[in-house]
Amino acid sequence: MPLADKTIVITRPQQQSSEIKQRLIDLGASVVAFPLIAIEAPIDEDFCQKQLSKLVDYDTLIFTSRNAVEMMFSALAASASQQPIIKLLKAIQIAAVGKQTAIALEKQGVSVSIVPTAMFNSEALLEQSALQQVVSKRIAIIRGEGGRDLLRSTLLERGAKVDYIDVYRRVCPATNLLPLVKCQAQVGIDIIVLTSVEGVYNLFKLGAGQDWLKHAELLVGSQRMADAVCVFDHQGRVVIADDPSDDQVVNCILDWASSAG
C-alpha cells in the first residue's frame, strides 16, 4: 500500500471528490475531504439564459471545465424553451480544455472535436491547430465567473469574435479551518491537494495566523497555482502536478510518497 499511513486532504468541490478520494483510499491513504470551492448558479441567471438561447449563433463553443459542462446543461434543462438547442449543438465545433471536460460533454451526447492530448490547460488548448486560424469566427467560452482571460485575449488577437458565457460561480463553502486544525493536532496532515487558484486563496484566507499551515506540504495542479501560493508566507514544500486531473494528481501523490520514503 504505497500511501499507507499518509493523511491527505482533498479540497475539490464535494460532488467531484468521491472518485479521487476512493482511489487514494484504495492505495492506503487516510483521506479528508475538505471542499474549498462550491459551484453555484451565476448571479444573473436571466442573462445567462438569454446568452444560452443564442448558442447556435456561434461557430465554436469552448468549455473550460467539467463544471462549465454540468452547469450549462443544468441551465438548459431548467428552461423548456432551451431544449431544442441541445440537439443543435451537434452542428457546432466543440472544444474542451481537458479530458474530464470532454468526457462530461460526451456523457451529454455532445461530440468533442478539439481537446489537448497531454497538458490540460488553456495554453495547451490554444496550441490546437483548429484554434490557430479563427479570423471572423464567432466563439463562445463557457466558463465560471471571473476565470482567466488568456483564451479570450489570445483568440481576439487571432481575429476571432469572442464572448464569455458565465454559467456558474465559485464560492467558498467553509467558514474556518477547524476540521483541518483538529486533524493536524490529532494525527497530522501529510499533504493538502489544491486544484484551483481560488482554492489556494481560500485556504490561506481561512488559515491566516495558522503556523502549521505555513509549513504544510501542498500539492497543486499547475504552475499558476504554485505562483499563487508564493503570494502568501508559505515555507513548506510545494509539489506541482502537470494539470489538476485526477490521474495526474494521483500519479503525483505516488511520486511524492515514494520520494518521501
CA distance 221 to 198: 12
Tens-place pLDDT, residues 180-235:
999 999 999 999 999 999 999 999 999 998 999 999 999 999 999 999 999 998 99
> Looking at residue 117, what is its pLDDT?
84
Tens-place pLDDT, residues 10-31:
999 998 899 999 999 999 999 9
- For strands 191-194 and 161-171, give the pairing: unpaired
Domain with CATH 3.40.50.10090 in the chain: 7-37+175-260, 40-170
With cut-offs at 50, 70 and 90, classify the pLDDT of residue 260: confident
- Packing angle of the helix pair 18-26, 246-260 (nearest 10 deg): 30
Architecture of domain 40-170: 3-Layer(aba) Sandwich (3.40)
> Looking at residue 78, what is its pLDDT?
79
Residue 84 reports pLDDT greater than 80:
no
Architecture of domain 7-37+175-260: 3-Layer(aba) Sandwich (3.40)
| CA neighbor of 112 nearest in space, from 127, 100, 96 | 96
